[in-house]
Structure 1
Amino acid sequence: MSLLPVARRVAPRCNLARAFASKTPFAAPTASVYRVFDRAAKRTQKDRAASRDGGERSRTVEYVRDEVADRMMERLLDIKRRFDTIVDLGSGSGHFSKLLEPDKTRKVIMIDSSGQTLNRDPDDDFEVQLERVQGDEEDLLGILPRNSQEAIVSCLSLHWVNDLPGTLVQIRETLKPDGLFLGAMFGGDTLFELRSALQLAEVDREGGISPHVSPMTDTKDMSNLLGRAGFTLLTVDTDEVRVGYPSMWELIEDLKDMGEGNAIVGRRHFLHRDTLAAASAIYQELHGNKDGSIPATFQVIYMIGWKPSPTQPKPLERGSAQTSLKDVL
């Protein structure tokens, strides 16, 4: 169980308030990547979720993705540039792409590993020209040529990537000089309530713990990872989304409906009913709201980076200032 529950039975309340290391900057991705996630299992989970009830069940649990897509769009609109084509990497059903308008881009290329998710919604839901490509986010250079794209965005997809530094390098390689990367991914504090409840319940009932919530990147690591991948003019900030649920059971059910179940390699495929019952009680006791509902917190890391170009503004050399700070103050 990891990531992205949305309460269907209670109106959500939104209070918006895997550390990897890459030793060699600008290095191309290698074949020997440590596998944290089972990518085939994740693709199957997303396919099944998008197929249930003709996609209607998955549409009811998209509040967080839609909220984050809105906030990403605000950041894109702050960039006073029109792009001929934008690539939506790990697009899902197009939460971000549906917000694009012709005054910002002519065309969007949606790339996702799940064909069912990618093709769930009709072209009429989009305002710009659309191209859908089924492909793996970890093999971007196998889908698009180098130096070919003006802008690449990624809305809540990179948390399932095994080689995050390598994927960032591929994104930078795919961009044209002065090309834009705009992304959002879940941070390390996401679902801390669920994680702590499950761990305490497993220790109490089974004498140990196993991973049920995905490892995620800490906020402080993202600037370093983007810099090592070769991006410049970096902007990284965080936000939080809190959603209310009737209980932990609805949260778990919504995780399944979103295709966001546990896909960690070596994961346990089931939890004993009494362990889950204990986790639900612990969740309520430690984090419950006064009205009997429970909160779930999603930490979102937003990032902007640009591929280096000679035309980009450069900082002045140290000591070259013509005005004294003393005179300004």
Structure 2
Amino acid sequence: MTSNPSPSAGPPVIFDARRRAARLARSQTTIGTADFLHRRAADNAVHSLEAILRDFDGAVDLSAHPSVFADVLSDSVAAPRVGTVRQAGDPSAPGAAPLALADGAADLVVSLMTLHWANDLPGALSQIRRALRPDGLFLGTLLGAGTLKELRGVLTEAELAERGGAQARVSPFADGFDGAALLQRAGFALPVSDVDRVTVRYPNLFALIRDLRAMGETNVLAGPTRPLTRSIVARAAALYAERHAEADGRIPATFEIVHLAGWAPHDSQQKPLPRGSAKMRLADALGVEEVGRQKP
């Protein structure tokens, strides 16, 4: 008797979508007090649009806090070239459900500070790619692997000291240097990825946590989580100050912002020349002698 093959396993569940939705809903009234990362992401996206002299009639914003992008765009010379920007999809769980967009429905898709919460990042990018018309543009931003590296270290050390074991408390962010490869894998043409590292200085750990809550960026890792005790947080705050405090006593927090840009393929786009089609050696173009090659 032959058994039916088991269905292939889906992507691992890293984040709890319901907890993420609750954090995001709570942050809608507080983001204005700590929107500096979202505004930086929006500034970069709008600067990109300013450099592209074409119209985007069908624009969609998938950002966690789309009001920030709309605000920055409204003051830009690119605003008249971008049509009405509508929202679609669930920013608390990007890629978990089909986008509420037909294939090829958008000229421009923007997703700022959202995709680092995707359980299936390649899948979420593939959905965005399918939603774009040929030669449509995607502009995205997510937090990268270096984000909150100081906080990750002191929380782990403090919990180990207090409990003898530690749980993950900071998200496993994607490596920013993989951005272009992720876009290419999802089917984008002309992929571009840029890593922007930002250091924010705080008076103490508790001020940092207040900002993370205001942004909706606190821990939503899936699975049971033991709450942090006051003694663990106090030890972590002391360790943070001891290991990282600067001369004035303030502590740095690192944020790594990964900016992504890619186009839906179109025949009019530039394409790389076939391998071996070059008419001149690189060494000749640079006017140097190629090391390891004998002169004819």
The verdict on a shared fold, with TM-score over 0.5 as the criterion, is: yes
The answer to whether the Cα contact below 8 Å between 1:239 and 1:301 also exists between their aligned partners in 2 is yes
Aligned to 1:288: 245
1-structure distance, mates of 2:286, 2:153: 51
Counterpart check, 1:240 vs 2:197: yes
- Provide the secondary structure at the position in 2 that maps to 1:278: helix
2-structure distance, mates of 1:166, 1:206: 37
The answer to whether the Cα contact below 8 Å between 2:89 and 2:100 also exists between their aligned partners in 1 is no
Shift of 1:49: 2.7
Q: Which has the larger radius of gyration?
A: 2
2-structure distance, mates of 1:224, 1:35: 22
The answer to whether the Cα contact below 8 Å between 1:148 and 1:175 also exists between their aligned partners in 2 is yes
| Counterpart selection for 1:206 from 160, 163, 168 | 163
The answer to whether the Cα contact below 8 Å between 2:96 and 2:119 also exists between their aligned partners in 1 is no
The answer to whether the Cα contact below 8 Å between 2:35 and 2:215 also exists between their aligned partners in 1 is yes
Choose between structure 1 and 2 for higher RCO, CA contacts under 8 A separated by at least 6 residues. 1
CA RMSD of aligned residues (A): 2.1
| Counterpart selection for 2:14 from 36, 41, 46 | 36
Aligned to 1:137: 94
Aligned to 2:33: 60
The answer to whether the Cα contact below 8 Å between 1:200 and 1:279 also exists between their aligned partners in 2 is yes
TM-score scaled to structure 2, two decimals?
0.86
Q: 1:73 to 1:306 in 2, by over 3 A?
A: same
| Counterpart selection for 2:83 from 76, 97, 106 | 106
Counterpart check, 1:77 vs 2:50: yes
Q: Unaligned stretches of 5+ in structure 2?
A: 1-7, 288-296
Identity among equivalent positions (%) equals: 39
2-structure distance, mates of 1:301, 1:146: 26
The answer to whether the Cα contact below 8 Å between 1:187 and 1:216 also exists between their aligned partners in 2 is yes
- Provide the secondary structure at the position in 1 that maps to 2:133: strand
Shift of 1:65: 1.3
2-structure distance, mates of 1:303, 1:149: 17
- Provide the secondary structure at the position in 2 that maps to 1:214: coil
The answer to whether the Cα contact below 8 Å between 2:34 and 2:214 also exists between their aligned partners in 1 is yes
Q: 1:68 to 1:157 in 2, by over 3 A?
A: same
2-structure distance, mates of 1:193, 1:236: 24
What code does the residue aligned with 2:210 have?
Answer: E
| Counterpart selection for 2:67 from 91, 94, 115 | 94
Which of structure 1's runs of 4+ aligned residues deviate more than 6 A?
none
- The superposition leaves residues 259-305 of structure 1 with CA deviations (integer Å, 9 ceiling, x where unpaired) of 22211111525201111111001101111111111111100111111
1-structure distance, mates of 2:285, 2:151: 54
Q: 1:198 to 1:241 in 2, by over 3 A?
A: same
After TM superposition, list the pairs within 5 Å mapping 1:129-278 onto structure 2.
Answer: 137-138=94-95, 141-278=98-235
TM-score scaled to structure 1, two decimals?
0.78
1-structure distance, mates of 2:16, 2:81: 36
The answer to whether the Cα contact below 8 Å between 1:84 and 1:150 also exists between their aligned partners in 2 is yes
Shift of 1:323: 5.5
What code does the residue aligned with 1:107 have?
Answer: T
The answer to whether the Cα contact below 8 Å between 1:186 and 1:298 also exists between their aligned partners in 2 is yes
2-structure distance, mates of 1:77, 1:290: 40
Question: Does 298-307 or 136-145 show the bigger shift?
Answer: 136-145
Q: 1:169 to 1:327 in 2, by over 3 A?
A: closer
Q: 1:267 to 1:92 in 2, by over 3 A?
A: farther
2-structure distance, mates of 1:311, 1:200: 54
Question: Does 59-68 or 92-101 show the bigger shift?
Answer: 92-101
Shift of 1:179: 1.3
The answer to whether the Cα contact below 8 Å between 1:91 and 1:111 also exists between their aligned partners in 2 is no
What code does the residue aligned with 1:78 have?
Answer: A
Q: 1:285 to 1:272 in 2, by over 3 A?
A: same
1-structure distance, mates of 2:66, 2:260: 21
- The superposition leaves residues 72-122 of structure 1 with CA deviations (integer Å, 9 ceiling, x where unpaired) of 2222322232211221112414211222243231211123637xxxxxxxx
1-structure distance, mates of 2:162, 2:93: 39
The answer to whether the Cα contact below 8 Å between 2:104 and 2:130 also exists between their aligned partners in 1 is yes
Counterpart check, 1:303 vs 2:280: no
Aligned length: 275
